Structure 1
Amino acid sequence: MKHTIFALASAQGRAGVSVIRTSGPQALSVAMQLTGKTLKPRQATYASLTHDGEVIDQAIIIAFLGLSSFTGEDSVEYQVHGSAAVLDRLYSIFDSLGFRLAEPGEFTRRALENGKLDLTQAEAIVDLVDAESEAQRRQALTQLDGGLKRQYEGWRQGLIDLLARIEVYIDFPDEDLPDSLQADILGRIATLHGELEAAIADSRRGRQVREGYRIVILGEPNAGKSSLFNALLKAEAAIVTPIAGTTRDIIEAQLRIGPYTVLLYDTAGLRETDEIVEAEGIRRARNKAEEADLRIWVVDGTRADIDIGDVRAEDLLVFNKADLAPAPDVSRETLAVSLTTAQGVDNLIATVERRVTAELSTRTFPAATRQRHIDRLSEARQELDAALARRMRVPELTAEHIRQAVNAFDALFGKYDVEGVLDVVFSTFCIGK
């Protein structure tokens, strides 16, 4: 029999009210024992918590029974005064009654095991708790509400339907089956393959919303990178001096652009050097540049020997010191600013905001928000690649590739279901006729 578990559901530390959550076979009976009352499901009950004749606290208790609870088993929440003394005493009582302190995520894990949610929804709970921006909140709620589950389940059901059709070839090889059936199967495989390709290609946006959009500022020493870093943050976060090589390591800060979280990085100036510490900072800067969602190159516009060879087409190119010299013509879109006088800075900030908003805003969030999703979708896509390559020449092998694709989605949900294939076979084809 499962242990009854307990844990603090509210924040640690002294508080006006703390919430303790319990779940398991003894949760309800112990709650009634401590309160001396019959608890009605989903109804708040005010009572004194008493154990061995001692009043522990006055609390509000809410019971959730069986499948109507979050975990899918009897659960009780205690709203008590948030002092360390009250919590410690209740923990001691629960321990003496055979309860066990819950492991990290164990309430959600029990909900998963009891069929209350799937792995994608469990992940959404973590994302919702960690959400700091409006976009993160919306994305997590969409996922918790089953947005990804419905999309993934639609693809999975499409694969099972395909498998049912292929089984016709395997079970009835001597029947005069229409040629259109094979063409239909291959067409459906190609359609699903294309949809998975699109979902994988769009997965970057889900990561950017969940983890933060990464902007890396790059350029040579004394170009104005740290000044731009401070201008975007509207704070003196990075040290600015006329001495080349002042910034030796990566400086990270977080800012908000509309509903989105942005991670901004100032980096060491890029140049050839024999100085060990500076060289390490430059190596880290180049590595961070490869992880960037947006790279902003800052160039000293007064220099005659301007080198923009490392600047990519999608990067923002900013010529600094526009108050001293006009921006040179480099046959590509540039932004001219003076980080000393603030000339052009508002336009630069607006350009960055438009770029972030254009890349992240969408009415429907992407199919994948985590690497685990991308890996499983890629597995399914690879199996469909192999199935298309076989062109139904050996139906048994094509069916095996489709089964493996189904398994990839089952891994996403945390389940494995072969009986569902048989159900579809008998419901969509008149096998016995």
Structure 2
Amino acid sequence: MWRGLWTLPMRAARGLCRSCSNRGSGAAAPGSGATIFALSSGQGRCGVAVIRTSGPASGPALRSLTAAQDLPPARSARLRLLSDPRSGEPLDRALVLWFPGPQSFTGEDCAEFHVHGGPAVVSGVLQALGGVPGLRPAEAGEFTRRAFAHGKLSLTEVEGLADLIHAETEAQRRQALRQLDGELGRLCHDWAETLTTALAHVEAYIDFGEDDNLEEDVLERANSAVQGLQAALGAHLRDARRGQRLRSGAHVVIAGPPNAGKSSLVNLLSQKPVSIVSPEPGTTRDVLEIPVDLAGFPVLLSDTAGLRQGVGLVEQEGVRRARASCDFLDTVVARMGAQSSNGSSQRLLLVLNKMDLLSHEGPGPKPDLPPHLLLSCLTGEGLEGLLEALRKELAVVCGDPSTGPPLLTRARHQHHLQGCLDALGQYKEARDLALAAEALRVARRHLTHLTGGGGTEEILDVIFRDFCVGK
């Protein structure tokens, strides 16, 4: 460690870059000077469809379609007759709203048209907007990209919004809403503030190390702050896979001997007949996968061939694939009818099916079994207990979005936090105060990039391409 090795002022270190990217810097939306428009609600017939605009020509477009001299009061709905500005043909009687910038979603002047949701009405209004000078159809994600470019959303909040739109389970919705509310961004901002303070202490020592007015423990405080931040980053990185599983889905494999009821359990959990059920052993000969909402968590559920020595080449291949699925899964294995685990380090939930065949006097003498659950796929008895057990297991491997610190849901988050942690390691090993200060700048830059971009246009394109047109 470099403590005490440098006591002379190091003003040459001032030449090292101290700048960091500001929120939303370098992320201007493509064609941001134009006014865009798009259908923001779903396609097809519906009661109400929402068409929105964003850009400097939003006000003239609203006046043009309503033939009104004055715009409606800001953020207040008004009923207006919409007409084609070129032909004067009435299009619909609709609610219109006016959102002057910067108090709008994108930070620009925006207008919304809440029209009846028939395809002809929507098409007519879109064609009318296309005829207004200065307007063009929006690209996918362009409204959100403009909101990011104008500092209305941080990059992590943008990702949370995308996850919220695509959320299919309760756990995904809760996690996405927490990220959209800015929890991850605020946490990274606090970490960046810690680094800024530590960097200020180091640079003060570089410049004024011989000044009697400088507090003696200034470097110790910087070291303590870095040490605490290293521990926090390490804890989040150890849990990184949990957030990614929650976003993309955990992998649950149902494995066990033939005719134990594996396919019946798949049908019971998915609430649809996705697997063929037959009294003949070896019915399933391949790995069948289906996405399901399991106890509020997203799950890729796999039905596999019965684990035995297959009587034919096809079944033998199915057994091989079943074993391979168990080797590469990242969450929970449910074994049907097995009496002991195979010693694997994977999380194992032992389920004994066909409890309806047990006598009323009880199961009778049996060998010692590891912790297990009883279930009847025929009657559904024991299903609630199994779902609760799965919920607890999935909360462990995916994280509970209702409690604890915000999760890292994307590989990009993990990359920048790992880069920050690596830079802090270089700070601890530096034997030169100038290099130590630069390591702190690199660490802070990673946190800034996580929430504020600062990357290439290609990275931003990847983030926004998953948005639909109109959002």
Provide the TM-score with structure 2 as the length reference.
0.78
Name whichever of 353-362 and 145-154 sits farther off. 353-362
Equivalent positions of 1:132-211 (< 5 A) are 132-175=168-211, 178-211=215-248
Name whichever of 117-126 and 359-368 sits farther off. 359-368
Contact 2:285 2:314 in 1 (8 A): no
Q: Does 1:328 align with 2:367?
A: yes
Deviations 1:341-394 (A, max 9, x none): 76755543443244335664342353412222122111111111221223xx21
The residue matched to 1:252 in structure 2 has which SS?
A: strand
* Paired-residue identity, %: 37
> Alpha-carbon deviation of 1:113?
0.3
Change (3 A) 1:334 1:55: closer
Contact 1:203 1:368 in 2 (8 A): yes
- Distance (whole Å) between structure 2 residues aligned to residue 46 and residue 227 of structure 1: 55
> Alpha-carbon deviation of 1:234?
5.1
Deviations 1:394-419 (A, max 9, x none): 111111211111111121123459xx
- Distance (whole Å) between structure 2 residues aligned to residue 190 and residue 115 of structure 1: 32
Change (3 A) 1:275 1:11: same
Contact 2:255 2:322 in 1 (8 A): no
> Alpha-carbon deviation of 1:27?
0.8
Residue type of the alignment partner of 2:418: S
Q: Does 1:76 align with 2:95?
A: no
Q: Which residue of 2 aligns with 1:10?
A: 41
Q: Which residue of 1 aligns with 2:135?
A: 99
> Alpha-carbon deviation of 1:102?
0.8
- Distance (whole Å) between structure 2 residues aligned to residue 343 and residue 136 of structure 1: 29
The residue matched to 1:76 in structure 2 has which SS?
A: strand
The residue matched to 1:68 in structure 2 has which SS?
A: coil
Q: Which residue of 2 aligns with 1:431?
A: none
Contact 2:242 2:407 in 1 (8 A): no
Aligned mate of 1:239, from 265, 269, 276: 276
Name whichever of 362-371 and 333-342 sits farther off. 333-342
Aligned mate of 1:372, from 412, 416, 427: 412
- Distance (whole Å) between structure 1 residues aligned to residue 276 and residue 412 of structure 2: 39
Change (3 A) 1:192 1:59: same
Supply the RMSD in Å over aligned alpha carbons: 2.9
Deviations 1:184-231 (A, max 9, x none): 211111100101111222333433443344322122433432233234
Q: Does 1:28 align with 2:59?
A: yes
The residue matched to 2:350 in structure 1 has which SS?
A: strand
> Alpha-carbon deviation of 1:105?
0.6
The residue matched to 1:366 in structure 2 has which SS?
A: coil
The residue matched to 1:126 in structure 2 has which SS?
A: helix
Residue type of the alignment partner of 1:27: S
- Distance (whole Å) between structure 2 residues aligned to residue 55 and residue 138 of structure 1: 43
Deviations 1:282-339 (A, max 9, x none): 33762465233211122355xxxxx743543631123446647865325x43345565
The residue matched to 2:347 in structure 1 has which SS?
A: coil
Contact 2:205 2:218 in 1 (8 A): no
- Distance (whole Å) between structure 2 residues aligned to residue 130 and residue 10 of structure 1: 14
The residue matched to 2:345 in structure 1 has which SS?
A: coil
Name whichever of 65-74 and 285-294 sits farther off. 285-294
Contact 2:423 2:440 in 1 (8 A): yes
- Distance (whole Å) between structure 2 residues aligned to residue 349 and residue 131 of structure 1: 21
Q: Which residue of 1 aligns with 2:335?
A: 297
Q: Which residue of 1 aligns with 2:120?
A: 85
Contact 1:297 1:311 in 2 (8 A): no
Residue type of the alignment partner of 1:312: S
> Alpha-carbon deviation of 1:122?
0.8
Contact 2:54 2:106 in 1 (8 A): yes
Contact 1:250 1:284 in 2 (8 A): no
Give the gaps of 5 or more residues in structure 2: 1-31, 456-471
The residue matched to 1:66 in structure 2 has which SS?
A: coil
Contact 1:200 1:367 in 2 (8 A): no
Provide the TM-score with structure 1 as the length reference.
0.84
The residue matched to 2:76 in structure 1 has which SS?
A: coil
Name whichever of 2-11 and 399-408 sits farther off. 399-408
Residue type of the alignment partner of 1:26: A
Contact 1:223 1:299 in 2 (8 A): yes
The residue matched to 1:46 in structure 2 has which SS?
A: strand
The residue matched to 2:168 in structure 1 has which SS?
A: coil
- Distance (whole Å) between structure 1 residues aligned to residue 371 and residue 190 of structure 2: 43
- Distance (whole Å) between structure 1 residues aligned to residue 441 and residue 319 of structure 2: 49
Q: Which residue of 2 aligns with 1:230?
A: 267
Contact 1:217 1:296 in 2 (8 A): yes
Q: Which residue of 2 aligns with 1:397?
A: 435
Q: Does 1:255 align with 2:293?
A: yes
> Alpha-carbon deviation of 1:79?
1.0
Equivalent positions of 1:47-66 (< 5 A) are 47-50=80-83, 51-52=85-86, 53-66=88-101
Aligned mate of 2:349, from 302, 309, 316: 316
Larger relative contact order (C-alpha < 8 A, sep ≥ 6)? 2
Change (3 A) 1:350 1:239: same
Q: Does 1:42 align with 2:81?
A: no
The residue matched to 2:290 in structure 1 has which SS?
A: strand
- Distance (whole Å) between structure 2 residues aligned to residue 342 and residue 146 of structure 1: 42
Give the gaps of 5 or more residues in structure 1: 302-306, 418-433
Name whichever of 145-154 and 264-273 sits farther off. 264-273
Aligned mate of 2:447, from 401, 409, 433: 409
Residue type of the alignment partner of 1:328: P
Residue type of the alignment partner of 2:43: Q
Change (3 A) 1:347 1:14: closer
Contact 1:311 1:317 in 2 (8 A): no
Q: Which residue of 1 aligns with 2:163?
A: 127
Aligned length: 408
> Alpha-carbon deviation of 1:58?
1.8
> Alpha-carbon deviation of 1:172?
3.2
- Distance (whole Å) between structure 2 residues aligned to residue 338 and residue 16 of structure 1: 44
